[in-house]
Structures are given as structure tokens and as C-alpha cells.
Amino acid sequence: MQTRVTKEHSDYVLNGTKVFVTNAPVADVFTIYGTLDPKLGATGICGFIVEKGTPGLSVGKKKDKMGLRTALMAELALEICRVPATALLGREGRGADVFNCSMAWERACILATCLGTMRRQLERCIDYARKRKQFGQPIGKFQSVANRIVDMKLRYETARLLIYKVGWLMQENNSADMDAAMAKLYVSESFVKSCLDAIQIHGGSGFMTELELERELRDSVGSTLYSGTSEIQRNIIARGLRL
């Protein structure tokens, strides 16, 4: 449901529901976007900073997720939630600009954590392929295993460079919207593929919860959804190419 914003004197009144809100059960402050008038499109969107405990703001029951279970999630409800003009984030009607800027930063940084997991998976698979023997030799000598590890290495190195490039662009105050979208798209989808390869390399052991490879796979699926789905990233990239 889209959050509607109405203005009453110097205050704003928010009504609506935000369904998937990360850290909602533990957050002290919320960033909320709503529209003054749907007919205005992006120019009608406003951003607000709303503190926990504000009358009219309520947090629903914690949601159970497939992965990323340590990042709590819940629904946020706004019912005649009145906030002062000082809660406005930026200028009235510029919420879309604020949101897009913050999302560029988020896409640039949020998947950096995936690099650590991808690197650990790679090192773990190399070590396993050297030690695990079948038919009298380490399984890493078999092309079907070695090729998967090579692909994991390529994905990791490419993902690392993409994320570092976005960080450099933003540090230099250059536009990075398309590059951030490319990094988000490539890293998230590469993360899923590398998780599947890691499980396959470890065979039956990889399917067991003991090695926690299945947990990494469940978490990786989430990376293709949060901060904009893979489809959204492709739209941003296409727009950056003026298609």
C-alpha cells in the first residue's frame, strides 16, 4: 500500500503501510517515503524521518524469512501519524531524489559483505578439492570440479573490482547510478551461482546443514531482491544506456 501524505498547517499526516521493513522490530528511527498527490508522480514524493514511539506509528509482528534471519523484518503501519515540518527530509516533493541518492550508496556498499563470503567459499572449496580424494587423486584434478572453482574465482575477482569501482566513483563525487546497479546485479547473481557451486563441489556433505553452505545459499537469494530486484537493476542500466 502506498503511503499517503496530507498537509495540515505546518504538520504532515502519514497514512499507509510498509510491508517489508528491515530492522523494523529494533529500529529507533524510520525513514518513510510517501506521496502528496499520486498524480504528481515522482515530484509528489516526500521523505520523512520518524522516530519510534510517534503516535500513529506501529510495528507489526516479526516476519519469518527464507534467509538473512539475523536481519529482523516486520511490517510498519501508519495511521494518522502526525509529524512536524522538521521531520521532512530535504525539500517537499524531492523525496524521489533523496531516495535515489541513498539507494545508490546502498547498492554500492550493501553487497560488499557478499565478497567476504564469496572469498571464504572459494578458499574453502580449494582446500576441500586438494584434500578430498576419489579414484586415487584429489578431486581438484577432475576438470568438472576444477572448472567450477575457476568460475568462482572469476566471479569473485570481477565482483570485487565492480564494487571497488563504485566506491571510487562515489568518493570522487562522480555519478555512479548505473555502475552501482551493475555491481548490485552482478554481485548478487554471482553470489547465488557460487553458493550453488560450493554445495556441488562438496557433494552430499554440502547439502547437510553442518557445513552451513545451505545457509549461505538461502542468504544469497535475498541479495537478488533487497535494494531493488535484479529486474530493477537491469532497468536502471538500460536507462543509463539511454535505451
DSSP letter, residue 190: H
DSSP H stretches of helix in the chain: 95-109, 112-131, 143-171, 177-202, 204-207, 213-223, 230-240
Distance CA 199, CA 121 (A): 10
Which one, of 54, 58, 16, lies nearest residue 38 by Cα? Answer: 16
> Exactly one of 75, 106, 157, 189 is catalytic; which is it?
106
> What per-residue string of b and e applies to 160-196 under the rule 16 or more CB within 10 Å gives b?
eebbebbbebbeeeeebbbbbbbbbbbbbbbbbebbe
Residues near 175 by beta carbon (within 8 Å), at least 6 away in sequence: 169
Residue 106 among the catalytic residues: yes
Distance CA 15, CA 11 (A): 13
Q: How far is CA 45 from the centre of its chain?
A: 22
Q: In terms of DSSP bridges, do strands 73-84 and 29-35 run parallel, antiparallel, or are they unpaired?
A: unpaired
Q: What is the CB neighbour count within 10 angstroms for residue 65?
A: 17
57 forms beta bridges with 78
Positions marked catalytic: 106
